[in-house]
Structure 1
Amino acid sequence: MSTWRDEKNQKARGRLERCLSESFPSCVLSHALRQPLIPPTQRRAVESYWRHHPLLADRLARALAAKSGQPAGWQWRLGTDNGSGLPLSFRTPPAPYREAAFARGPGRCCVCGQPVYRLGWHRDLWGDGKPNRNAAWHAACVAAWQFWTGPTDYLRVLKLRQKRRCAATGRRLLRTAEVDHRVPLFAVWSDHRSRSWPELLAFWGAPNLQVINKAAHLEKCAEEAAERSKRRSVLLSPNESTPGESQP
């Protein structure tokens, strides 16, 4: 097995170095050469880099979104069918540039709205000023979107960020620890919907994610369920009679 891997890595490294451009990011190359199986192409090396750095991808994607800003006339809405381009649930991050009315066209990232350059990179390292018109995602934004929509897949990364301590109790994280949103997403929809789009993204990103032990998570979920029930009862309660109206 070791011989097979060594031979495979030797071929992959040779292929990668043959097609390597002078402007290829050095951080990506260093990462690629450290992998158990070296990616054989520049694009796969870039994808591997961002896949292994989800917190960095999250931070970069939100910074690029802040650079683009919220499109004029956009507001966070939910759709009723997949054809609308709108998210069907408040659990999906708002993405105005994925909506047909605000899409910026070929060569622009559908997540952050910024130009996409060669290999899905977010900066024009090659200096030709030409976005890749066949691309609609930054490689970093792909990794960030996966992080936002499936944070439980990044439990190990988030545990390391917290030095394996429960964010709720301060005790050591157990094997059954779970990822949690500090501000629950239903509260983001109901209480923070009017915030600007770049600010909203932080509720899906690292600033709003924590790892807590299962017992603490169950307790928090129970409190959140009670809060949601209370909100529903307020919304469904009959309106109070206005002054002057007869009482039943």
Structure 2
Amino acid sequence: MTPLRAAPLAALALTLVLTACGGDGTGGRDDEPQLTVLAAASLTDVFTELGETFEGDQQVEVTFSLGSSTDLAQQAADGAPGDVLATADTTSMAIADDAGVAGDVVDFAGNVLVLVTRPGNPQGIESLDDLAGVSWVRCADEVPCGRVAVDLLDAEGVTADPVSLEDDVRATLDKVTSGEVDAGLVYATDAVAAGDAVTTVEVPEAADVPTTYAVAALEQSADGELAQAWIDLLVSDDGRRVLEDAGFTVPAQPQ
């Protein structure tokens, strides 16, 4: 399977298809059950790994639509096809919940913001105060990583303006890894996923404004049992291990 990245949803939501074991290599068999998961871009790596496990266990074809939680939740609220919605904050999930399309909502993981810089941190960025005088980016205000960034920056009195506001956290990360900017505010898990392509600068104050990830089966799901099976995997010991390995925190008991 070739790794794919989540493109900005404003242009086109990335669709990632994992071909079930035993398929013909052309995108799955016609008689295979299908599962469509709408998920925050920051879940790309974790969900790709869990998707392979799920396909092997369930003999299904899994498709992910990855992008901004807010946009995905609004699409689900408008009746877009899908079985499961996983968002990077509870505010986005509330869009689908208020529209009556989300089933029981489960909080399954947490995340915090960090600063990432170009490798080696050539600008010597050590804190949020150092964003003044360098080029940096963050997520747009209306998406989860942007909302939590605004809360963090306001709390710390940071007034330096970003050079751009990005559609989701992976687009923000891409601005740094491509060398277009000096730094970006992204989730800790995205910094882990980027590896040596960035240098990570911890932001201790970010612990005061964490974000909580939520998941729910969608009312428009064609197979509610299969959707629930995905959620069960996500909150299982195996799912929690994959989340923790990627840098997420997990609750002692899913709420």
Confirm or deny a common fold (TM above 0.5): no
Structure 1 or 2: more strand by fraction: 2
Q: Which has the higher contact order (CA 8 A, sep 6+)?
A: 2
Normalising by the residue count of structure 2, what TM-score does the alignment of the two structures yield? Answer: 0.24
